[in-house]
Amino acid sequence: MSGRSAVVTVLIYLPVFYNPDRQGRRRPIEDAKFCLTADDVARQFQGGGTLHVFRGGEARGFWWNKGIVGRDVLALLEVDVPDTAESRGWLRRYARDVLIKRFRQKAMYMKFIHPVETLLVADVAVVSEKRTGKKRGPGSTRGRVREYGT
């Protein structure tokens, strides 16, 4: 199934380390904070996304602040949301009221990418709704969450 809709992909950049303490040390941010953030966004938009945490330093961010270029190792939460003023407003408030405090930052950065075109490729047979009254296929996760470990 392929299609275009009024959806925008939001990239939420998250730090992997807290800002330096008074001794200049940077502690890693707890994994639970990334998972909690992904859960919050998934619940709000009733969907899913992708969370990339680059502990090895692969994703690097940089910014300019008061004449100094700052650098950081980043995590990235990617999610598709309705392209509405309500969605953008919720994300703005969430970043201001929750993320800045949770990750102890001065600011949070999000990027909105549009248009979004989706393509779903599946190896699942759909059982006719007329026969069963339900639209389910083999391996259905209806009512369950299926997690894949590493």
In a domain, 9, yes or no: yes
- Asked if 108 and 13 touch (Cβ cutoff 8 Å), the reply is yes
What are the tens digits of pLDDT across the range 7-17? 899 999 999 98
11: domain CATH number is 3.30.70.120
In a domain, 144, yes or no: no
Counted domains in the chain: 1
In a domain, 95, yes or no: yes
In a domain, 60, yes or no: yes
* Residue of 86 and 130 predicted with greater confidence: 86
In a domain, 50, yes or no: yes
Task: List, as one string, the DSSP characters of 69-136.
Answer: EEEEEEEEEEEEEE-SHHHHHHHHHHIIIIIHHHTT-S--EEEEE---EEE-----PPPPHHHHSS--
In a domain, 61, yes or no: yes
In a domain, 128, yes or no: no
- Asked if 12 and 77 touch (Cβ cutoff 8 Å), the reply is yes
**Boundaries of domain holding 78:** 2-122
* Residue of 131 and 53 predicted with greater confidence: 53
In a domain, 113, yes or no: yes
